[in-house]
């Protein structure tokens, strides 16, 4: 035999591996979850491809994950009869392609603490490499469904790997075998009791049955039945089961902030198991703003790339399982499916109404969700006029009247002053600076509440003609403040009416500033500061102006 060709990992992958190999993270269990989840993904991919091409399933149509332990040889092997990988795919998937998550992960982890570090691993989709936290060598032998050759990928995680053809007799008939040569301090992972307990806890609800062989010669026993959690009645599922499922399916390590499980019946029939994460997924602000909800048709995984929800709900995780879409729907056609359009609408509405319910039943829990995802939800105020009203109802704001508190527009409306015709807002990047802006003096003097908006998206929706209960949103930096009709709060002096002296002074300022400004006028909005800059009535808000200037528009 010729010696196998040695290849180098792509740079980011190498850095990541270095980190895994030298990992000091205490929670190494995550590697099991990652490898089981890859095996389950591979089975689900095959199940999908097998619909169009049943021959791929051959005489072994039942998906299965088998974990084999060898305490004497300090080995743990995870084998699946899923889709498998060709030689080329092995190299791409496990060596060359740095998933977008890898770099983002490296950036984040640089400043992370021990426990947080291992939690980040799954979240960033760098799952396979976590094997090197417990193994000093990993051999992956794979045979793609339908292929008549197999190959073995092998690495010690120290910078290089090899790929060579494998003897088909020793390879899985179809699928992938991942063999971990355990480090001395990870010998525990060859112990049946330990491994069973950990797999059940972390991966008990993957939709593929899991079998365990305590020794290479032992009979396999089933330790997880592969029943789809979401098809079981709600009342029989515990919070722990939901959480474990969420972690495996969503690649999150936190607890879900909201779990939504229901069955829609009627025109379209589908199951929904959706979660609002307890913390921001790493790719939340990626430019493609892609969602991650998975689409199943009658328990068959179809894709996680269809946009099942509006982009401003992209933080939701979980799945929708349709009972009436055709199983052989091509991935390309999915986005055009009228059934999907109806499902999208139903699920999006349901998520918003559940959030609304939560805000009433548990304000604290709701505010936590708003703090985490409010900036994303507000994108909907700009791009989804059909749900603007619902979203305005969900929105919470920092304002001038209640420092450190979140206020709803309902709260705001209840405090409207006599003759107040608009909802006022100020836009900036820093809450404290914004709160002390001279633009707000006249409002404060009259006891008028002003929304303090500090998210990028605020400039867009606030200027997009939104109204709440018939009141338009109006920027404090824009045009006439029309505050003269509103009485000052007790103890505050009203700004003096314009006098001749003021008129003379204004004329003088105009000649000095010339074309640099379009107008100079006396203002109701200042009580302490001498001057402030405002945008003309019909012009863009100043903050939006800055944002667009920054974006080169």
For ligand ADP, the binding residue among 21, 51, 71, 93 (CB under 6 A) is 93
Candidate list 19, 20, 42, 131; residue touching ligand ADP; CB under 6 A: 42
Does 77 contact ligand ADP by CB under 6 A? Answer: no
The C-alpha atoms of residue 36 and residue 440 are separated, in whole angstroms, by 57
Rounded-to-integer distance, Cα 416 and Cα 432, Å:
23
32 vs 444: CA distance, rounded Å: 58
Q: Which is closer to ligand ADP, CB of 127 or CB of 281?
A: 127
151 forms part of the interface with ligand ADP (CB under 6 A): no
The yes or no reply on residue 355 touching ligand ADP (CB under 6 A) is no
Which of 66, 77, 141, 176 binds ligand ADP (CB under 6 A)? It is 176
Q: Does position 128 bind ligand ADP by CB under 6 A?
A: yes
- Select 50 or 127, whichever has its Cβ closest to Mg ion: 127
Check residue 179 for interaction with ligand ADP (CB under 6 A): no
- Out of 16, 36, 39, 544, the residue judged to bind ligand ADP by CB under 6 A: 39
**In the bound complex, what is the minimum distance in angstroms from residue 158's beta carbon to ligand ADP?**
18
Q: Is 127 in the site for Mg ion (CB under 5 A)?
A: yes
Of 120 and 358, nearer to Mg ion (C-beta) is 120
Of 92, 208, 184, 79, nearest to 140 by C-alpha is 79
Residue among 131 and 462 whose Cβ is closer to ligand ADP: 131
Instruction: Give the interface size with ligand ADP as a residue count (CB under 6 A).
Output: 15
CA distances from 46 to 80, 292, 320, 330 (A): 11, 20, 19, 15
* Contact status: 543 vs ligand ADP (CB under 6 A): no
Q: How far is the CB of 277 from ligand ADP (least distance, A)?
A: 17
What residues are paired with 344 via a beta bridge?
A: none
Q: Phi and psi of 272, rounded to 5°?
A: -125, 130
What's the number of CA atoms in the CB half-sphere (13 Å) around residue 500? 0
Choose which of 38, 203, 259, 459 interacts with ligand ADP (CB under 6 A): 38
Residue 94 or 481: the one with the smaller Cβ distance to Mg ion is 94
CB of 37 to Mg ion, least distance (A): 5
Which residues lie across from 77 on neighbouring strands? Answer: 68, 179
Name the residue number minimizing CB distance to ligand ADP.
127
When the beta carbons of 89 and 482 are compared against ligand ADP, the nearer one is: 89
Give the bridge partners for 262, in sequence order. Answer: 272
Chosen residue from 12, 29, 80, 179 binding ligand ADP by CB under 6 A:
80
Nearest-approach distance from CB 314 to ligand ADP, in angstroms = 17
Write the binding mask 399 to 438 for ligand ADP: x where contact by CB under 6 A, - elsewhere.
----------------------------------------
Contact 291, 313 (CB under 8 A): yes
DSSP state string for 471-522: EEEEETTBS----TTSPPPTT-PPPPPP-HHHHHHHHHHHHHHGGG-S----
SS3 label, residue 463: coil
Which of 50, 63, 82, 157 forms a contact with ligand ADP (CB under 6 A)? Answer: 82
**SS3 of residue 87 by DSSP:** helix
Q: Quick one: which of 38, 155, 372, 399 contacts Mg ion (CB under 5 A)?
A: 38
Q: Tell me the two tokens of residue 305.
A: 């790339």
From 75-83, 222-230, 238-246, 322-330, span contacting ligand ADP (CB under 6 A): 75-83
The only residue of 126, 325, 409, 452 in contact with ligand ADP, by rule CB under 6 A = 126
Residue 39's closest CA among 76, 1, 74, 67? Answer: 67
Number of neighbours of residue 219 by Cβ within 10 angstroms: 8
What per-residue string of b and e applies to 171-198 under the rule 16 or more CB within 10 Å gives b?
Answer: bbebbbbbbbbbbeebeebbebeebbeb
Six-digit token string for 525? 């909005």
Distances (CA, A) of 440 to 401, 402, 405, 510: 11, 14, 18, 24
| Contacts with ligand ADP, residue ranges (CB under 6 A) | 34, 38-39, 42, 80, 82-83, 85, 93-94, 125-128, 176
| Contacts with Mg ion, residue ranges (CB under 5 A) | 38, 127
């Amino acid at each position: 035999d010729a010696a196998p060709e040695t290849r180098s990992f792509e740079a980011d992958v190498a850095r990541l591996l270095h980190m895994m190999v030298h990992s000091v993270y205490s929670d190494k269990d995550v590697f099991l979850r990652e490898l089981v989840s890859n095996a389950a993904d591979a089975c689900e991919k095959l199940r999908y491809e097998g619909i169009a091409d049943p021959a791929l399933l051959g005489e072994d149509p039942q998906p299965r994950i088998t974990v084999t332990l060898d305490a004497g040889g300090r080995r743990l092997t995870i084998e699946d009869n899923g889709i498998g990988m060709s030689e080329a795919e092995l190299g791409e998937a496990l060596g060359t392609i740095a998933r977008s998550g890898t770099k983002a992960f490296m950036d984040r982890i640089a400043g992370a603490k021990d426990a947080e570090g291992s939690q980040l691993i799954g979240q960033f989709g760098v799952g396979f490499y976590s094997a090197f936290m417990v193994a000093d060598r990993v051999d992956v032998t794979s045979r793609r469904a339908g292929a008549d050759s197999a190959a073995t990928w092998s690495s010690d995680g120290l910078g290089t790997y090899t790929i060579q053809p494998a003897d088909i007799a020793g390879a899985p008939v179809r699928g992938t075998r991942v063999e971990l040569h355990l480090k001395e301090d990870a010998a525990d992972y060859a112990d049946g009791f330990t491994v069973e307990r950990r797999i059940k806890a972390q991966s008990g609800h993957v939709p593929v049955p899991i079998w365990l062989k305590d020794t290479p010669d032992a009979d396999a026993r089933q330790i997880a039945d592969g029943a789809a959690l979401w098809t079981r009645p709600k009342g029989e599922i515990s919070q722990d089961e939901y959480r474990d499922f969420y972690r495996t399916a969503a690649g999150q390590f936190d607890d879900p902030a909201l779990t939504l499980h229901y069955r829609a019946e009627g025109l379209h029939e589908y199951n929904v198991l959706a979660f609002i994460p307890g913390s921001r997924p790493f790719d939340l602000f990626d430019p493609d703003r892609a969602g991650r909800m998975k689409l199943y048709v009658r328990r068959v995984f179809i894709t996680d790339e269809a946009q099942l929800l509006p982009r401003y709900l992209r933080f939701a995780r979980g799945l929708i399982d349709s009972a009436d879409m055709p199983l052989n729907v091509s991935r390309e056609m999915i986005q055009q499916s009228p059934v999907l359009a109806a499902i999208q609408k139903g699920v999006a509405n349901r998520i918003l109404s559940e959030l609304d319910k939560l805000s009433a039943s548990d304000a604290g829990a709701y505010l936590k969700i708003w703090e985490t995802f409010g900036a994303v939800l507000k994108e909907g105020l700009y791009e989804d006029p059909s749900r603007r009203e619902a979203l305005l109802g969900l929105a919470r704001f920092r304002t001038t009247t209640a420092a450190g508190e979140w206020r709803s527009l309902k709260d705001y409306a209840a405090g409207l002053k006599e003759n107040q015709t608009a909802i006022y807002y100020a836009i900036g990047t820093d809450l404290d600076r914004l709160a002390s802006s001279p633009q707000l003096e006249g409002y404060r003097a009259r006891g008028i509440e002003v929304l303090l908006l500090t998210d990028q998206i605020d400039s867009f929706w606030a200027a997009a003609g939104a109204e709440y209960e018939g009141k338009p949103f109006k920027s404090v930096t824009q045009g006439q403040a029309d505050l003269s009709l509103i009485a000052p709060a007790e103890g505050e002096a009203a700004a003096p009416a314009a006098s001749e002296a003021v008129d003379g002074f204004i004329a003088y300022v105009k000649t000095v500033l010339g074309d640099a400004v379009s107008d100079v006028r006396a203002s109701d909005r200042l009580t302490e500061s001498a001057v402030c800059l405002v945008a003309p009535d019909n012009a863009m808000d100043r903050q939006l102006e800055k944002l667009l200037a920054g974006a080169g528009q």
